[in-house]
Amino acid sequence: MNITLKNVSFSYTDSLDDAVIKDLNLEIRSGQCVILAGESGCGKTTISKLINGLIPHYHSGTISGDILLGEKNTADITLAEISRYVGSVFQNPRSQFFNIDTDSEIAFGCENLAMPREEILQRVDRIVDEFHLQKLMGRNIFHLSGGEKQKIACASVAATMPEIFVLDEPSANLDLKTIAELKEIIARWKKAGKTVVVVEHRIHYLREIADRICYVKDGRIAYEWTPAELEAKGAEYAASLGLRCVNLKKIGDARLRGHDKKSVIASGAKQSLHESIVFTDLQFAYNRKFPILNIPSFTLPRNQITALIGHNGAGKSTLAQVLCKKSDAYLIMQDVNHQLFTESVLEEVLLGMRPQNEKTALEILAGLNLEQYAYEHPMALSGGQKQRVAIGSGVSSGRDIVIFDEPTSGLDYRQMLAVSATLQKLATSGKTLLVITHDPEFILNCCSNIIHLEHGKIAEQYPLQGHQEKLIETMLDE
Amino acid sequence: MKLDPRTKLFLAVVANSVILSAPLVYGALMFAVPAILLLLERKWRFVLVFFSVYLAAALGFEHLKTMDVGRVGTLGVSTMMIISRMMPIGIVLYYVMQTTKVNEFLAAMARIHVPTKLTIPLTVMIRFFPTVFDEARAIGHAMRMRGIRLFSLHTLKNPFSILEYRLVPLLVSITKIGDELSIAAVTRGLSPETKRTCVATIGFHVQDVIVFMYCLIVTGSFVIASHETAKQSFVDFLSALFC
């Protein structure tokens, strides 16, 4: 089924003056896989909502132009009918389920299409086979990992067999192994002749599948390439547009040579502070027979950034929690919304401070480029700013070790660099950082040590310097 | 053991009205139903904690309600009363939320011809509460890490701050989640206008009949008993009038 957007403009407000999408023309042929890339806020997610009918049927605003699915104009048909043709997968695996158990979720779309019961059961069986979901059947959604949830989301959308799939940053919360599974799913859809639209700035996993990449800027398609064309332009070029690495296998090459020099100097300076924090006997178990975490001893190099890698369920988050309990480590959560409580940014920083000193608090905020927001409500800030407020409250609590849980998930290249810079500044100011992450680009950018966790034990620990290739291999194997 | 969603709805309505209006004995009898059902679901710890708190509050209230306990004591006794009245309602709702699948509920409501305009929002509620608890847990964790405890010098000085710290992030995240859940539902074709089928099999079995009968017997005996006392007090009233 072809997707045609003809002279489409859209604004979330009453007038088209502040339009998010401006006079957009886009045609996606049946059976193509197209990536909509671009920096945060460029309008790429809005385009996906135009295709799956959430605009104009769910989000209100002003729209002009036509969006056609095949011959049908989305403005003329209901969302329920659009859902027959378009299946949507969203970024947040936590909230894209309507049911509480996996079986019902896969059947849900078919039920809404009023298919006969026997046919639905057959389809569910077939989908379970196709997606290898046997182990996940009959499970409570709340007990699944992020990757498992995303798999169920894809499967349940596929069950209604729509002609078009729209995925909005589906890889944002996944590790590289799960991303590889996602890649297989998308490849299978394409092979079956479906049209696939993926909104994404991590392009590497779609390199072999995508027919073209549309780069969105200011609500228009600014550039179009095939993945090969983009790769040929070089990593520097992609980075300058805010795109993440196109080919992970070549990640050690061009883009990082520049950084290498810097980090050699930086780590040289750090060598003088050669010192480590030693933890002993870190254990955790829900059940004595099956310890989740069993680490007799491990060392954290002081005033440096250490990356904690390992596949989902290896015990990374558990290690972070145990460290928080045992030492005075401070954890910056993946969802920072959970840890901002007060009415103003300044108060947030003062909350954990003993004794409270407004001047010092303002200095901390200035260090994080937040001084102009000191009296704003934390919830009114952008995601990156919120993260920095959370960091500020960690700094003000006077703790030496700061742990980050996936600080760069879902970020584009520029935002990732900003987070790296903040973390580096923090390390130079005398904090010891441990970062749980699945993001190889980020690690290569600012971390100096790697701890690889496997089955609740430390599999390996090594400095990044000179081991870049090994790191990439480990992460791809995961 | 699986109950039909309609039985659960009946249980919730009957149990709540009996618990709120009848003496404690009947409340305890109604309390037993969801407690047993939850035990069958292996929620041992939940039932144990709930039941002990309930028993302590209920017995405490029965024992102290006629005594003169002073002003502070009255506050305590009324808290006990509120706990002994509200907890059974909590446990019934917990049971319904825990064990009812979204699509079973939709099917059951369609069977008794409740319009979908009403049932779809109700289903969102079933899905919504566990999500809220999940969020609240994460927020509690964050608070402990920052050294904000439920009982500390700081919270004693500003008792409302704890409410604020808990509620602000919770409200922000649940409004977002509510929105995302509705989007998930509409893009999957859930709509009040279209007809839908249901894979889940619902229907009445022996256990449903037992629960129905039990509820009716308890309610019936309460009605008869209160009728008796009403008659008795009327006779007392008349004799007092004429003697």
CB contact under 8 A, B199 and A104: yes
Q: Give the integer Cα–Cα distance in Å for A25 and A32.
A: 16
Torsion angle in degrees (nearest 10) through CA of A437, A442, A444, A446:
-100
DSSP state string for A38-87: -STTSSHHHHHHHHTTHHHHTS--EEEEEEEETTEETTTS-HHHHHHHEE
Q: Give the integer Cα–Cα distance in Å for B197 and A116.
A: 7
Within-domain flag for B237: no
Chain A contact present for B148, CB below 8 A: yes
Write out residues 28-57 of A within 8 Å (CB-CB) of B: 52-54, 57
Domain check: are B3 and B53 in the same one? yes
**Which residues partner with A404 through β-bridges?**
A332, A435
Cβ proximity of A12 and A20 under 8 Å = yes
> Counting Cβ atoms within 10 Å, is residue B224 exposed (0-12), middle (13-18) or buried (19+)?
exposed
Structure tokens at A18: 């502040």
Within-domain flag for B157: yes
Domain check: are B160 and B95 in the same one? no
Say how many Å lie between the first and final Cα of chain A, rounded. Answer: 36
Q: Which of B168, B186, B191, B193 to mutate to test the interface with A (most CBs of A within 10 A)?
A: B186
The C-alpha of B109 sits at a distance from chain A's nearest C-alpha, in angstroms, of: 15
More confident residue, B131 or A31: A31
Domain check: are B97 and B120 in the same one? no
Q: Give the integer Cα–Cα distance in Å for B151 and B162.
A: 9
β-pairing, A33-37 vs A401-405, is: unpaired
Within-domain flag for B235: no
Say how many Å lie between the first and final Cα of chain B, rounded. Answer: 59
Within-domain flag for B241: no
Q: Which of A51, A112, A340 to mutate to test the interface with B (most CBs of B within 10 A)?
A: A112
Cβ-proximal residues to B1 (8 Å cutoff; 6+ apart), any chain: B37, B40, B207
Q: Which residue of B has its CA nearest to A330?
A: B145
Q: Give the integer Cα–Cα distance in Å for A151 and A170.
A: 10
Structure tokens at A475: 């992460």
Domain check: are B30 and B77 in the same one? yes
Q: Which of A79, A98, A402 to mutate to test the interface with B (most CBs of B within 10 A)?
A: A98
Q: Give the integer Cα–Cα distance in Å for B165 and A2.
A: 50
The C-alpha of B60 sits at a distance from chain A's nearest C-alpha, in angstroms, of: 36
**Which residues partner with A6 through β-bridges?**
A66
In this prediction, residue B223 has a pLDDT band, given cuts at 50, 70 and 90, of confident
Cβ-proximal residues to A296 (8 Å cutoff; 6+ apart), any chain: A280, A281
Average pLDDT, chain A: 87
The C-alpha of A99 sits at a distance from chain B's nearest C-alpha, in angstroms, of: 6
Cβ proximity of A58 and B183 under 8 Å = yes
Domain check: are B71 and B146 in the same one? no
Q: Give the integer Cα–Cα distance in Å for A388 and A382.
A: 10
In the predicted model, what is the mean pLDDT of residues B40-62? 87
In the predicted model, what is the mean pLDDT of residues B4-29? 86
Domain check: are B96 and B120 in the same one? no
**Which residues partner with A220 through β-bridges?**
A217
Query: B154: domain range?
Result: 116-191
With tokens 């859940």, the residue in question is: B181
pLDDT of residue A39: 86
Within-domain flag for B222: no
In the predicted model, what is the mean pLDDT of residues B189-201? 84
Phi-psi region of A60 (alpha: psi -120 to 50; beta: other; left: phi over 0): beta
Cβ-proximal residues to A133 (8 Å cutoff; 6+ apart), any chain: A102, A106, A127, A151, A152, A155
Average pLDDT, chain B: 83
**Which residues partner with A195 through β-bridges?**
A164
In the predicted model, what is the mean pLDDT of residues A59-75? 92
pLDDT of residue A311: 80
pLDDT of residue A268: 44
ipTM exceeds 0.85, yes or no: no
pLDDT-above-90 percentage for chain B: 7
Structure tokens at B175: 């409004």
Domain check: are B174 and B87 in the same one? no
Residue B86: CB atoms within 10 A of its CB come to: 14
DSSP 8-state symbol, A196: E
Write out residues 60-119 of A within 8 Å (CB-CB) of B: 78-80, 83-84, 86-88, 90, 92, 94-101, 103-104, 107-117
pLDDT at B23 over 90: no
Chain B residues closer than 8 Å to A159 by CB: none
Q: Which residue of A has its CA nearest to B124?
A: A98
Interface size A-B, in CB pairs within 8 Å, comes to: 157
Q: Give the integer Cα–Cα distance in Å for B157 and A89.
A: 47
Structure tokens at B103: 């699509």
Model pLDDT for residues A251-288, shown as the tens digit of each residue: 765 444 445 444 444 444 444 456 888 888 888 877 66
CB contact under 8 A, B184 and A393: no
Residue B55: CB atoms within 10 A of its CB come to: 14
Cβ proximity of B50 and B35 under 8 Å = yes
pLDDT of residue A173: 77
Q: Give the integer Cα–Cα distance in Å for A368 and A362.
A: 10
In this prediction, residue B151 has a pLDDT band, given cuts at 50, 70 and 90, of low
Chain A contact present for B195, CB below 8 A: yes
Structure tokens at B35: 């407690």
Chain A residues closer than 8 Å to B166 by CB: 341
Within-domain flag for B224: no
Chain B contact present for A138, CB below 8 A: no
Domain check: are B85 and B145 in the same one? no
Domain check: are B5 and B59 in the same one? yes
In this prediction, residue A478 has a pLDDT band, given cuts at 50, 70 and 90, of low
> Counting Cβ atoms within 10 Å, is residue A53 exposed (0-12), middle (13-18) or buried (19+)?
buried
pLDDT of residue A255: 46
Within-domain flag for B227: no
Residue type, A155: A
CB contact under 8 A, A352 and B143: no
pLDDT of residue A265: 43
In this prediction, residue A289 has a pLDDT band, given cuts at 50, 70 and 90, of low
Within-domain flag for B62: yes
DSSP 8-state symbol, B234: H
CB contact under 8 A, B146 and A339: yes
Chain A contact present for B193, CB below 8 A: yes
Model pLDDT for residues A402-459, shown as the tens digit of each residue: 999 889 888 888 888 989 999 998 899 889 999 999 888 899 989 999 999 988 889 9
Domain check: are B124 and B186 in the same one? yes
State the pTM of this model: 0.83
Model pLDDT for residues A219-251, shown as the tens digit of each residue: 999 999 999 999 999 888 988 898 888 888 777
Instruction: Closest CB to A112: pick one of B147, B173, B188.
Output: B188
pLDDT of residue A254: 44
Cβ-proximal residues to A390 (8 Å cutoff; 6+ apart), any chain: A332, A333, A336, A339, A340
The CA-atom distances, in angstroms, between B47 and each of A19, A266, A443, B15, B56 are 55, 58, 47, 17, 14
Structure tokens at A349: 């920083």
pLDDT at B62 over 70: yes
Angle at A355 between CA A353 and CA A360, to 5 degrees: 65
Domain check: are B7 and B95 in the same one? yes
Element housing A316 (H / E): helix A316-326
CB contact under 8 A, B145 and A331: yes
Q: Give the integer Cα–Cα distance in Å for B232 and B227.
A: 8
Cβ-proximal residues to B184 (8 Å cutoff; 6+ apart), any chain: A90, A95, A96, A97, A98
CB hemisphere CA count around A74 (13 angstroms): 30
Chain A contact present for B131, CB below 8 A: yes
Model pLDDT for residues A326-368, shown as the tens digit of each residue: 888 889 888 888 888 888 899 889 887 878 888 889 988 988 8
pLDDT of residue A266: 47
Count structural domains, chain B. 2
DSSP 8-state symbol, A276: E
Domain check: are B120 and B168 in the same one? yes
Residues in chain A: 478
The C-alpha of A84 sits at a distance from chain B's nearest C-alpha, in angstroms, of: 7
Cβ proximity of A403 and A436 under 8 Å = yes
Cβ-proximal residues to B5 (8 Å cutoff; 6+ apart), any chain: B100, B104, B105, B107, B108, B109, B202
Element housing A35 (H / E): strand A33-37
The C-alpha of A337 sits at a distance from chain B's nearest C-alpha, in angstroms, of: 6
